[in-house]
Structure 1
Amino acid sequence: MIRFLSGGLIGPPAVRLDGPRCYIRPPSPHDWRAWAELRSASRDFLTPWEPTWPADALSRASFARRLRRQAQEWRDDLSYSFLIFDPHTDAVVGGLGLTNVRRGVAQTATLGYWAGKPYASKGYVSAATRLVLDFAFTHIGLHRVEAACLPINDASRTLLERVGFTHEGYARGYLRIDGVWRDHVLYAILADEWRDRGVAPPQQR
């Protein structure tokens, strides 16, 4: 299900996961404009929760570099990045990914996600999270997926708890967000816990 261009450079993996509320797939070059327009329109909404954006964050060249890095990380089993799409309009509504994949005795990754302002709190990200958890536990064989959010981010905490994550702790100065080292609350879900929820697997194509 993963396709790379000849010569070792890198095309996006040919994988898509479909659910009733959204579908997710790795970004490709033709997504740049829709992605950049949504991120630009949502800048004030997103920046309080994200690392500081570089000056060229939304440029086509920066997006191309991002795609090359992400596709290489797919190849190296280091991270798996997706965009989230509305299935009725094919509009980009957000993104999510599994980063910091650790194999060996850990078999763990970290979940991160975002939604454009017009699409926040409308069920897209929770639906996409269910798709990516099934991908994590069924398709790439992880044992554990972790997530962290700011203590004041009630929407994110509610989302994680709704899809089955357990609150595990509090980390001081955990990540540098919007230029400041911020405390985070820590969550995780295990493969057995996910399977016990009896969630139907997504359609893959």
Structure 2
Amino acid sequence: MVVLNGEQCFLRTLQEEDVRQMTELVRRNKVYWSIYEPRHPSEYYTEKIQLRKIQESIRQMQMRREFSFGIFLRGSQELIGHISIYAIKRLPFSSAFVGYSLDEAQTGKGIATEALELICRFAFEDIGIHRLEAYVSPKNVGSVRVLEKAKFDQEGLLKQLLYVNGEWEDHYMYALLEDVY
């Protein structure tokens, strides 16, 4: 288990025991998260599927291919989001993607920025990644702001990258380099 401590939140790699809270989190944010992410089938919102996702994230972490963390409020064990480093590539790339989602009730408080900064430090210092990348919808102003506050640079616009709610959506490509961090 990996724990990363911040001022407002802490990140902890997800464990099977988190399945109930994770299922409640995805159910509670089903509508909010579907604005910028593809819709999921109804079984996605069950403990059975969330347990499988957690178990797979544990396997991926053991192989050092992905690290999935819950975002928890500091001073509690309340799961308020998740953040992952995934698609880890070793040299000659030494890169990975980062993705995150925060409970709608916790947005606008700087928590997502802090979680992103914690996971960037982990990626550069502990995993040894050289470049972190993120995709974000131009419509997702809050997430764009989070990336920019965490020193990510916009590198371009990827046309019709992701199929979201019946439409092909453009996404910005953001990146943070180890030497900028």
Question: Equivalent residue for 1:74?
Answer: 61
Could you say which structure has the higher strand fraction? 2
Deviations 1:40-71 (A, max 9, x none): 12211111111221221121211121122111
> d(CA) in 1 for partners of 2:5 and 2:28?
26
1:38 and 1:27 map into 2 onto residues whose CA distance is: 13
- Alignment-mate amino acid for residue 17 of structure 2: H
Aligned-partner residue type, residue 43 of structure 2: D
1:31 matched to which residue of 2? Answer: 18
What's the Cα RMSD here?
1.2
Which one is further off, 164-173 or 47-56?
47-56
Distance in 2 of aligned mates of 1:133 and 1:59: 30
TM-score by length of 1: 0.84
> Is 1:175 matched with 2:169?
no
TM (norm. structure 2) is 0.95
Query: Are the structure 2 counterparts of residues 39 and 158 from structure 1 closer, same or farther at C-alpha, using a change threshold of 3 Å?
Result: same
1:132 is aligned to 2:91: no
- Using the TM superposition, give the Cα deviation of residue 179 of structure 1 relative to its aligned residue in structure 2, in angstroms: 4.3
Superposition pairs for residues 87-98 of structure 1, below 5 Å?
A: 87-98=74-85
1:102 and 2:82 are equivalent in the alignment: no
**What CA distance in whole angstroms lies between the structure 2 residues aligned with 1:180 and 1:68?**
31
* Matching residue of 2:51: 64
Alignment length, in residue pairs? 181
Given residue 20 of structure 1, which amino acid in structure 2 is its aligned partner? E
Structure 1 position 111 matched with structure 2 position 98: yes
The 1:66–1:179 alpha-carbon spacing in structure 2 relative to 1, beyond 3 Å, is farther
Identity of aligned residues (%): 29
Tell me, yes or no, if the aligned pair for 1:52 and 1:179 is still in contact at 8 Å: no
Verify: 1:151 aligned to 2:138, yes or no: yes
CA distance in structure 1 between the aligned counterparts of 2:85 and 2:18, rounded to whole angstroms: 20
Query: Post-superposition shift, 1:102?
Result: 1.0
Question: In the aligned structure 2, how far is the partner of 1:69 from the partner of 1:180?
Answer: 29
Aligned partner of residue 48 in structure 1, secondary structure = coil
Aligned partners of 1:35, 1:179: CA distance in 2, in Å?
A: 26
**Alignment correspondent of 2:147:** 160
Structure with the greater alpha carbon radius of gyration: 1
**Residue 54 in 1 paired to residue 48 in 2?**
no
Tell me how far apart the structure 1 counterparts of residues 141 and 18 of structure 2 sit (CA, whole Å).
Answer: 30
Is 2:160–2:169's contact at 8 Å kept on the other side of the alignment? yes
Please report how far the alpha carbon of residue 138 of structure 1 lies from its aligned counterpart in structure 2 after TM superposition: 0.1
